[in-house]
Amino acid sequence: MKTIQSIDVLIPVFNEEECLSLFISRLSTVLDNMDLSYNVIFVDDGSTDNSLSMIKYACENKPQLGYISLSRNFGKEAAMSAGIDTSRAEALVIIDADLQDPPELIPDLLNVLEQKDADVVFARRKKRHGESFIKKAFARIFYRIFNKLSRFDFPEDTGDFRILKRRVVRALQQIEENNRFMKGLFAWVGFQQIEFLYDRDSRFSGKSKFNFIKLLSFALDGITAFTTIPLKLASYVGSSFALLAILFGIYFLLKSSILGDPVPGFPTLIVALSFFSGVQLMFLGVLGEYLARTNIEAKKRPLYIVRESRLSSEDSGKHTENQHQPE
């Protein structure tokens, strides 16, 4: 049953000059062959290479293509949010520019969405080509921990490649928090979500923008945004150790009063001191992580700033009024 007549396609782009021309041609072929109207939204996330001029050039030649260019690199999560905020079509596809997510799968995603009457169809990778063992292992551990800690599950081996119905996009547009962990938010909004298995290709060219440190901070963002269990853990572990320390104290008091204390308890002192200060510092850190994020949210800065934009054809009037566009 064909129900969806129009789609938006959102592509976050950060320094992808090597992939872009092939990506654009593959994407256009796919979209032109689909029997519906479409708008493409490239979000240039402050690229420093030729990506933006390549995007502009492509947009000039094809009215369905449009772009938003951010004032600097805000990160993929913010770039996606910028695109989501402007989407008006009946469904929105999110896809990477590096050809790891094959554009040829878009019709399949749409098909499943329509056939199963789902709200979201997310692509789940069967295999990850060209990703290091360590990255895969870390991803696995992260998903395990996250799903254990948070109150809802979010699927493993899933990127941002997905199609969302308008009502889901609207739900995402309402979320104002600054610490955007999109994978978590996609799951948090609920709705009927269905997976679609695919083989994830290697990057067509260039390197992943996410190094180990970035991924670690990304994981931390995810955990602190969606669960407060580390805070609870801090109070549990902290109070257990405090109790233990009191028992220790009583034990030493009794021991020295009965047996006397021939050697002043230097080792015990040092061990206890360093151990407890370690535990305290660790949990101060946990508190700090949450506090820092609350602080960021309290500032209510916009998630991204648009430098310039030219969104495709009919909707362009509507789009401009909704943007955080500086004068």
Burial 10-43 (b: 16+ CB within 10 A, else e): bbbbbbbbbbbeebbeebbebbeeeeeebbbbbb
- Is 160 a residue that touches Mg ion (CB under 5 A)? no
- Is 20 a residue that touches ligand UDP (CB under 6 A)? no
CB of 4 to ligand UDP, least distance (A): 24
Q: Which of 8, 9, 12, 221 binds ligand UDP (CB under 6 A)?
A: 12
Q: SS3 for 180?
A: coil
> Which has the closest alpha carbon to 66: 88, 89, 39?
39
- Is 309 a residue that touches Mg ion (CB under 5 A)? no
Span near ligand UDP by CB under 6 A; candidates 10-18, 59-67, 274-282, 285-293:
10-18
> Which has the closest alpha carbon to 10: 60, 68, 57?
68
70 neighbors 307 (Cβ within 8 angstroms): yes
Decide which of ligand UDP, Mg ion, none touches 8; Cβ closer than 5 to 8 Å per partner kind: none
Element (H, E) at 246: helix 229-259
Q: Which of 28, 38, 76, 89 binds ligand UDP (CB under 6 A)?
A: 76
Q: Which of 7, 8, 14, 168 binds ligand UDP (CB under 6 A)?
A: 14
Residues contacting ligand UDP: total by CB under 6 A:
17
Q: Using only the alpha carbons of the chain, give its radius of gyration.
A: 25
User: In the range 24-63, which residues lie near ligand UDP by CB under 6 A?
Assistant: 45
Toward Mg ion, which CB reaches closer, 51 or 100?
Answer: 100
Q: Which of 79, 89, 94, 99 binds ligand UDP (CB under 6 A)?
A: 79
Decide which of ligand UDP, Mg ion, none touches 178; Cβ closer than 5 to 8 Å per partner kind: none
DSSP one-letter code for 273 = H
User: In the range 63-102, which residues lie near Mg ion by CB under 5 A?
Assistant: 98, 100
Token couple for 138: 């870390």
290 neighbors 231 (Cβ within 8 angstroms): yes
- Is 178 a residue that touches ligand UDP (CB under 6 A)? no
d(CA 213, CA 226) in angstroms, rounded, equals: 20
Distances (CA, A) of 63 to 28, 106, 107, 323: 12, 20, 21, 21
Q: SS3 for 73?
A: coil
Toward ligand UDP, which CB reaches closer, 39 or 283?
Answer: 39
Question: Site mask, ligand UDP, residues 200-239, x = CB under 6 A?
Answer: ---x----xxx-----------------------------
List of residues contacting ligand UDP (CB under 6 A): 12-14, 16, 45, 73, 75-76, 79, 96-98, 100, 203, 208-210
List of residues contacting Mg ion (CB under 5 A): 98, 100
